[in-house]
Amino acid sequence: MKLGLVIDADNCVGCQACVVACKQWNTSGTLGPLTDHDPYGDEPSGVAFNRVRSYEVGVFPNSKTVNMPMSCMHCETAECVTVCPTGASYKRQEDGIVLVDQDKCMGCNLCAWACPYGARELDDVSGTMKKCTLCVDRIYDDALPEEERQPVCVLTCPSNARHFGDFDDPDSHVNRLVRERGGQQSLPELGYNPVNRYLPPRNKPHVGQERGTTPGGFADRLKGWLSRSVSR
Amino acid sequence: MHDMGSTMLNSILRGSFAPSIGEAGERSEAPALPAFEDHSGQERRYTTCYMCACRCGIEVTLENDQIRFIRGNPYHPVNKGVLCAKGNAGIMKQLSPAKLRNPLMRKPGTERGEGEFREVSWDTALDYLTQRLRDIRRTDPNKLAFFTGRDQMQALTGLWAQQFGTLNWASHGGFCSVNMAAAGLYSIGQSFWEFGDPDWDRTKYFMLWGVAEDHASNPIKIGIERFKRRGGKFVAINPVRTGYQAVADEWVPIRPGTDAALALAMCHVLLSRDLVDWEYLGRYTNAPFLVIDAPGTSHHGMIARDSDGQPLVWDINGECVADGMEAGVDAALFGEYTLPDGRPTRTVATLMAEKYLDDSYSPKRAAAVCGVPAETIERLAMEMAHVAFRETIEIPCEWTDWAGRKHDRFIGRPVAMHAMRGISAHSNGFQTCRALHLLQLLLGTIDVPGGHRAKAPFPRHTPPPNKPAQRSAPNAPLDASPLGFPTAPEDLVVDEQGRPLRIDKAFSWEAPLANHGLMHMVITNAVNGDPYPIDTLILFMANMAWNSTMNTASVQEMLRAKDENGEYKLPFLVVVDAFHSETVNFADLVLPDTTYLERHDVISMLDRPISEPDAAGDSVRIPVLEPDRNVRPWQEVMVDLAGRLGLPEFVDGDGRPKYAGYTDFIARWEKTPGIGFLAGWRGEQGDRHMRGAPNLDQWKRYEENQGFFQHHLPEHMRFYRFANRDYLKWAKDVGFNASSKPIVMELYSEVLQRFRLAGQGVYDGPLPPKTMDRERLKRYFDPLPHYYPPLEEQAIDQERYPFHAVTQRPMFMYHSWDSQNAWLRQIATQNFLFMNRTRAEELGIADESWVWLESHNGRVRGQVKHMEGCQPDTVWTWNALGKQSGAWGLSPDAPEARKAFLMNHLISELLPDAHSEGRLGNGDPITGQAGWYDLRVRIVPATDRDSETSQPQFPSIQPLPGADQPPSLLRYTTHEPVRLVRSMLDIIKRR
């Protein structure tokens, strides 16, 4: 099984719902608490597994705003795992989720430097590295109703721009989306082979133009309209 | 919601992951996953979100008396399981250090605004307030002004004010969206957002006009995605490409405040090419009605009527006038006809076509105004016409029209629109919204499949029949609500000399159709004693001393202003809020409210319910947490005060309080027999819906049903409701409408014409005494929608102030509410001034440099960010991020206070002097809606290099008594984390 996310850049409006849902769930989750520094002060900051970045492509008036939610890509060639000196970082064989064993992590930051996606964040109070778990503490929780066994970012997304599934299953929802919509990896040239995929903007729909009659002014139009009546 | 997703997940989990993975040996080494959550110690409760005005259903999981998780309720009709950033941050709202803890009174001998308070008991606070209010009510009830912000209980606050007897009540609609609501209700009997929705599942073309990210939040995101998935085209008309505009198929950058020019040019294209649904117009609008042509007389421009007041049309068969509401009469759409008494008339359609076919409405002329190329205007109009007329939808369904005629299908024109503040917050917003409705009507898209569909209790009659109360008297309730829908000068709330009777001058000659009141004028008018001084102002949930006002610094000064006797010009200010806002700092009495998770509430059919096009619905809040502070929900306090004051609806025959509290009041009070605040589970057995006797178990039933109720309409009552007999009959039965007569949509507004006649001095009734008002009535009260430049723009030197300056609300924050939120403020603590990169470079304004932004009213300093997706004549910023130092539980040097800025300082609540002979509000001349998107500015690089702070800066607000020191570290969790441990064997084998 190869679990991961499909993120639909054609629907993401950059609302940050997934960012905050992730924070909310995970601060009481398996990697919690997610420390916040100076929460009401001059430089608030905190651990987050998921952040949305917004970019512009093109030049006015042909510019396009693209919102890119970024979290762990659960790479197949996970360099963050390779560089870990303690074995705390690992990619689960069962499902490909990349995790950090908090008991073994010494907070050395090597994995964060190895990750080109900025997916890992050091919690300097626990002294450990933290990152997206794909909500491992939800998706395998048999006590939750089946429809809730998904990452919270997917469940909460108002734009339905996030999808979760098994990329090993050719018929899975995520694989179908990738096939139909031309799903892309982020920074594939770096060779980490990320599992998550991004769906690019769709082609613009074509709409015909109804031309009607030859354009006319009031006097022209009125000639034809004078005989018009409608049964009330 | 994500159906496909859950199907997929089933397939993953059905077999469990273990058997399909790897070799048997490895599998045996994979340790079983621990139980991450102890669900036995958790409880799920259901209530309604209040992190914004969207009213999503939420499920709150509690653990150890704390909130483990808040998620969208999957069964809730508003949000269908999803939740936005704000809703997901409810935990941090509950933990806010800015929460008020006790009633507070300004310390004797201290000045207002110094923030010196003492904590008092509720008894002390309410005894004092009761005495003060009793004196006011006994002498002149209008000396109490009661205005509310983002409350969702206007049916209750309005009832309370009416019972108290003051005309001076309203909510915040005067600076929010009254233009949109009023234009809709006077034109099509509904409007956008709470009034109606695009038919997301059927529409094929969606046009979004102006800033709309805030209303509504989740439903529009859900809708846009569903719509795009079906392959529809999404066109966004907006000066800025962020938010929803980011996912639009076409972005049309427009100059702010010019949307009416664009919409009416589209109407010009449709008319000139005869791309109009004449059948629809002829049947369902006043298009065939005869308009009297008698310039200089009191009937000029009025609709010709018979002796019963019925509108006349020209019967093309009988060649005579006929009752336009007589079923089956074959009415001429066009032409000039003479009434039996000899007066000439023309049909509404004739007047309309003549007006908009004039060259002044051509795409070329509009292009020069709105900055959208003429070819684009023409193409967009023809695209909509293509979808409306070539991609028509038909839903087979037998329905009966108002005249009893059977139809076998609903015909749908699948073009839908949405508009919100970007359209309404301009001083030409009323006519702009009318222009959008005209465009919708020409295409035949109102309340049809694929078009724009009403949500109960809408559609209502155009306008609804209730008129605003006009007179108050000591110790007596008003004979009507303070707010209503005037249809003639006789309905204005003015004295015999034509002077305003309301403190905000709503329903005066200055703002005749001010349906939502003018909250933004209250402080200015009260302090100036214009039209009169008041004694007490109660503000609920409205930050009027900061981001919810225009001209912030000056409003703060007015709150401190004293008369020659050393008394405050606004003698007593009561602030009701849950949090330490800037306005709390100016209060004489602070009544601390609860958070949304600690209270009962109703989102009522009498007010702003959660209906969907296919189902009427309402909902409740039910407390999920007990307050840990000495706070009370305001609605509870209102019922209490009403009992103490003996307001008739709230006391029994002996003058004793009739209700045990808010929940008891909601369950038992009836507006008319069988109609109360909640429509579900009525009747003594709880088996009646929409109408029935009170049910004392009603709250329990709502709780059992996750806090909401829906009444699904049968299919034959879901479209064409303005003319749908069964719907109209039902809407009358359940109290939505006073009559079951058809709702005639108004292309042509006779109401506006009446006021225009008054401006011309020929109306047969009250006339405006001031020249200034007469001129405005003549110029702006065109019975057919028109474009005019926003009033500030008309009054200032446009070359001196070349930029339009607008704001939008960030999707992750609601007004000023969320800088106190530890999670949300991590997304942004500072707002920037965004401007078009090329334009900025031409002016030598570098990215991230500091600039002064100057208007006719003042200047602010802020930091610039370049962007591409910004119309070059426009600059914009996020609103309400800027805070006064020390407010909202933040440290005094927080970036919200030192780097962020408010645009509000630049906006005057009055129009520039040059414009008027007297003080005129900076708003729409028809509704009074605050024109805060009309702002014009210039940009001057800030040369003061050592100071990279925003300006103006204000003194720091003191902490409140008993306030906790906000923590410097937050590690929120509801239980010890259950970790996942990697086995040593796995490390050894796989490295």
CA-to-CA distance for B612 and B223, rounded, in angstroms? 12
* CB B462 within 8 Å of CB B188: yes
First to last CA, chain B: 41
Return the number of other C-beta atoms located less than 10 Å from residue B561's C-beta: 14
CA-to-CA distance for B595 and B854, rounded, in angstroms? 38
Sign for the pseudo-dihedral over CA of A100, A102, A106, A112: positive
The three-state secondary structure class of B520 is: helix
Show me where the domains of chain A are located.
Answer: 3-199
A217 lies within 8 A of chain B by CB: yes
Inter-chain touch B333–A230, beta carbons under 8 Å: yes
Inter-chain touch A204–B278, beta carbons under 8 Å: no
Tokens of B290: 């005869």
Return the number of other C-beta atoms located less than 10 Å from residue A169's C-beta: 17
DSSP secondary structure string for all residues of B125-183: HHHHHHHHHHHHHHH-GGGEEEEESS-S-HHHHHHHHHHHT-S-EE-THHHHTHHHHHH
How confident is the model at residue B943, as a pLDDT? 86
| CATH number for the domain formed by residue range(s) A3-199 | 3.30.70.20
Inter-chain touch A29–B231, beta carbons under 8 Å: no
How confident is the model at residue B23, as a pLDDT? 36
Pairing of strands B233-237, B205-209: parallel
Tokens of B931: 């024109």
Residues B647-682 as b/e (b if ≥16 CB within 10 A, e otherwise) read: beebbeeeeebbbeebbebbbbbeeeebbbbbbbbb
Inter-chain touch A1–B21, beta carbons under 8 Å: yes
CA-to-CA distance for A132 and A49, rounded, in angstroms? 5
Instruction: Please report residues of A whose CB lies closer than 8 A to that of B324.
Output: 232
Q: What are phi and psi of B406, to 5 degrees?
A: -85, 145
CA-to-CA distance for B729 and B749, rounded, in angstroms? 25
Q: Which of B6, B221, B893 sits opposite A13 (nearest CB)?
A: B221
Return the number of other C-beta atoms located less than 10 Å from residue A224's C-beta: 12
Closest Cα in chain A, distance from residue B869 (Å): 6
Residue of B nearest to A210 (CA): B386
Residue B337, H or E segment: strand B336-338
Residue of A nearest to B253 (CA): A61
Closest Cα in chain B, distance from residue A189 (Å): 25
Inter-chain touch A20–B88, beta carbons under 8 Å: yes
> Could you read off the pLDDT of A39-82 as tens digits, one per residue?
999 999 999 999 999 999 999 999 999 999 999 999 999 999 99
Across chain A, which distance is largest between two alpha carbons, in Å? Answer: 88
CA-to-CA distance for B915 and B918, rounded, in angstroms? 9
User: Beta partners for B346?
Assistant: B291, B336
Candidates A20, A124, A206: best to mutate against B (most CBs of B within 10 A) is A20
Instruction: Please report residues of B whose CB lies closer than 8 A to that of A214.
Output: 273
Inter-chain touch A164–B272, beta carbons under 8 Å: no
A83 lies within 8 A of chain B by CB: no
Instruction: Please report residues of B whose CB lies closer than 8 A to that of A207.
Output: 205, 233, 383, 386-387
Inter-chain touch A232–B91, beta carbons under 8 Å: no
CA-to-CA distance for A95 and B298, rounded, in angstroms? 80
Closest Cα in chain B, distance from residue A225 (Å): 6
First to last CA, chain A: 65
Inter-chain touch B272–A211, beta carbons under 8 Å: no
What's the one-letter identity of residue B654? D
A32 lies within 8 A of chain B by CB: yes
Instruction: Please report residues of A whose CB lies closer than 8 A to that of B893.
Output: 42
Please, what are the domains in chain B? Answer: 1-37+975-991 (no CATH), 44-76 (no CATH), 99-113+134-166+506-604+619-677 (3.40.50.740), 188-457+745-749 (3.40.228.10), 793-941 (2.40.40.20)
How confident is the model at residue B498, as a pLDDT? 97
Instruction: Please report residues of B whose CB lies closer than 8 A to that of A205.
Output: 231-233, 249
Place of tokens 């780097």: B899
Q: Which of B826, B895, B966 sits opposite A46 (nearest CB)?
A: B826
Q: Which of A28, A174, A213 sits opposite B973 (nearest CB)?
A: A28
Within a 13 Å sphere around the CA of B59, how many CA atoms are in the beta-carbon half? 20
Closest Cα in chain A, distance from residue B259 (Å): 18
CA-to-CA distance for A96 and B374, rounded, in angstroms? 55
* CB B616 within 8 Å of CB B711: yes
The three-state secondary structure class of A176 is: helix
Q: What are phi and psi of B9, to 5 degrees?
A: -65, -35
Is-above-0.90 flag for pTM?
yes
Inter-chain touch A14–B283, beta carbons under 8 Å: no
For B739, counting Cβ atoms within 10 Å of its Cβ (0-12 exposed, 13-18 middle, 19+ buried), the class is exposed
Q: What is each CA distance from A109 to A35, A96, B707, B833, in whole angstroms?
A: 17, 22, 47, 36
Inter-chain touch A33–B977, beta carbons under 8 Å: yes
Inter-chain touch A207–B386, beta carbons under 8 Å: yes
Note the residue count of chain A. 232
User: Beta partners for B612?
Assistant: B615
* CB A41 within 8 Å of CB A12: no
Residue of A nearest to B33 (CA): A140
How confident is the model at residue B916, as a pLDDT? 54
> Could you read off the pLDDT of A104-127 as tens digits, one per residue?
999 999 999 999 999 999 999 999
CA-to-CA distance for B920 and B602, rounded, in angstroms? 37
A180 lies within 8 A of chain B by CB: no
Tokens of B473: 């008297």
DSSP 8-state assignment for residue B40: G
Across chain B, which distance is largest between two alpha carbons, in Å? Answer: 104
Please name which of B128, B131, B130, B104 lies closest in space to residue B115, comparing C-alpha atoms. B104
Inter-chain touch B84–A158, beta carbons under 8 Å: yes
Instruction: Please report residues of B whose CB lies closer than 8 A to that of A149.
Output: 9, 13
Place of tokens 């009041």: B665
Q: Which of B17, B279, B812 sits opposite A15 (nearest CB)?
A: B812
Q: What is each CA distance from B104 to B99, B121, B575, B640, B786, in whole angstroms?
A: 13, 8, 10, 18, 50
Angle at B918 between CA B915 and CA B921, to 5 degrees: 70
Inter-chain touch B357–A33, beta carbons under 8 Å: no
Instruction: Please report residues of B whose CB lies closer than 8 A to that of A7.
Output: none
What's the one-letter identity of residue B87? G
Residues B758-788 as b/e (b if ≥16 CB within 10 A, e otherwise) read: bbbebbeebbbebebbbebbbebbbbbbbbb
How confident is the model at residue B19, as a pLDDT? 31
CA-to-CA distance for B443 and B387, rounded, in angstroms? 10
**A·B CB contacts under 8 A:** 412
* CB B159 within 8 Å of CB B665: no
**Please, what are the averages of pLDDT over each run of 10 residues along chain B (991 residues)?**
35 32 41 91 98 96 97 98 98 97 97 97 98 98 96 93 98 93 98 95 97 84 97 97 96 98 98 98 98 97 97 96 96 97 98 98 98 98 98 98 97 97 96 98 98 98 97 98 98 97 98 97 96 98 95 96 97 98 98 98 95 98 98 98 98 96 98 98 97 98 98 98 98 98 98 98 97 96 98 95 96 95 98 98 97 96 98 97 97 97 95 68 96 97 84 96 92 97 92 65
Inter-chain touch A16–B282, beta carbons under 8 Å: no
What's the one-letter identity of residue B982? R
Q: What is the CA radius of gyration of chain A?
A: 24
Angle at B213 between CA B208 and CA B214, to 5 degrees: 125
Inter-chain touch B7–A67, beta carbons under 8 Å: no
DSSP secondary structure string for all residues of B887-920: GGG--TT-HHHHT---GGGG--SB--GGG-SS--
Instruction: Please report residues of B whose CB lies closer than 8 A to that of A221.
Output: 271-272, 274, 353, 357
The three-state secondary structure class of A108 is: coil
What is the torsion angle, in degrees rounded to the nearest 10, for the CA atoms of residue B65, residue B541, residue B791 and residue A60?
-10
* CB A210 within 8 Å of CB B390: yes
Q: Which of B36, B357, B987 sits opposite A137 (nearest CB)?
A: B36
Candidates A1, A7, A159: best to mutate against B (most CBs of B within 10 A) is A159
How confident is the model at residue B918, as a pLDDT? 62
Inter-chain touch B971–A41, beta carbons under 8 Å: no
Percent of chain A with pLDDT over 90: 100
Inter-chain touch A41–B894, beta carbons under 8 Å: yes
Instruction: Please report residues of B whose CB lies closer than 8 A to that of A224.
Output: 274
Q: What are phi and psi of B308, to 5 degrees?
A: -90, 5
Please name which of B527, B525, B481, B465 lies closest in space to residue B166, comparing C-alpha atoms. B481
Instruction: Please report residues of A whose CB lies closer than 8 A to that of B229.
Output: 160
Q: Which of A30, A67, A226 sits opposite B335 (nearest CB)?
A: A226
Return the number of other C-beta atoms located less than 10 Å from residue B394's C-beta: 11
Say if the ipTM goes beyond 0.95: yes
